Amino acid sequence: MGRELGLDGVVEHFTLSSDEAGWLRNKTGATRLGFAVQLKFLTWRGRFPRMRLELPPDGVEHVAKQVGVAASELAFYDFTSRAAKRHRSELRDLTGWHECTRTDQVRLVSHLVDVIWHDERREEQVRAELLRQMRADLIEPPTAAQVDTIIRSALHQADERAVAEAAARLWAAASSSRSPPPPTPSRPRPEHQHTPPCPPRHVPARGQIFDPKATGGLLDTWFATR
C-alpha cells in the first residue's frame, strides 16, 4: 500500500458524494470496493491506480466503510483484469475524464507554448503546467515518453516563437529610426492668363469695294509716314 494521507486528506479525497454512491448500486463485494477506490483515486490524482500498492491504506479504509465492504476484500480485486478495465471505461463515461488523444497532445503543446514562450522555460515548471492543464481538461496523463515528447515539442516551439518575436521587434525599431526622404517640392503652376479676343477683321466680300475707314485709319497713318 501507499503512504497514508491523514484524516484531512482522507476526508477530502476519499469521501464519496451522493451521486458517486449511486453509481455503486449494482455492485457488491470486492467489485464494489474496487470500483469505488478506482473512482476516488481518479478524482484525487487525475489518473487510475496501476496497482494496489499505490493506494493509501487509510483512504481504502475510509471508502470501505462508506460502501459497506471490508477493506480486506480489495485483495480479490485485480486491477489488471478485464473487469477492472471495464470499470475504468464506465468511470470515464460517468466523470468526463478521458484518455489523452493525439488531438489533446497537439492542443496541450499549443497551450504550453502560449504560457512559456515569453517567460518560464525550465522543464520542471513546464511539466507542472502540463499536468495542471490536463487535470483541468479531465485528461488522463499519457505514458511518460509521451509526456516528455509534449514538453520537448513545447520548449522547441517556444524558443522559435521567442526568436521570431525578437526579430520582429528589431525590424520594427530599425524601420522607425529611418527618416523618410523629404517630399519633392512641386512647381507652382502659373495662373491662366486671359487673352482678350482680337477684334473681328473686316474682310470684304468678293465684289465689294474695300473701305479704308474700316481699318480704323491705319492706312492713313501709314501713308502719312511715307
User: Cell for 96?
Assistant: 468526463
Give pLDDT tens digits for 23-64.
999 999 999 999 999 999 999 999 999 989 999 999 999 999
User: Cell for 213?
Assistant: 475707314
Q: What does the pLDDT read at residue 222? A: 41
One DSSP character per residue, 10-37 reads: HHHHSPPPHHHHHTTTT--HHHHHHHHH
Question: Which one has a higher pLDDT value, 170 or 142?
Answer: 142
For 202, residues 6+ apart whose C-beta sits below 8 A from its C-beta are: 211, 214, 215
What phi, psi does 20 have (nearest 5°)? -65, -40
Residue 133: its H or E element: helix 123-136
pLDDT over 80 (residue 143): yes
Query: Of the candidates 121, 41, 92, 49, which has an alpha carbon nearest to the alpha carbon of residue 129?
Result: 121
Give pLDDT tens digits for 147-205.
999 999 999 999 898 888 878 878 877 777 765 666 666 666 655 555 555 555 555 44
Tell me whether residue 108 is exposed, middle or buried, using C-beta atoms within 10 angstroms of its C-beta: 0 to 12, 13 to 18, 19 or more. buried
One DSSP character per residue, 156-202 reads: HHHHHHHHHHHHHHHHHHHHHHSPPPPPPPPPPPPPPPPPPPPPPP-
Contact 58, 5 (CB under 8 A): yes
Q: Which amino acid is at 89?
A: S
User: Cell for 26?
Assistant: 449494482
Separation of alpha carbons 58 and 47, rounded Å: 19
- Band the pLDDT of 208: cuts 50, 70, 90: very low
Contact 153, 125 (CB under 8 A): no
**Mean pLDDT calculated for residue range 122-126:** 89
The structure's pTM equals 0.69
Q: What does the pLDDT read at residue 212? A: 47
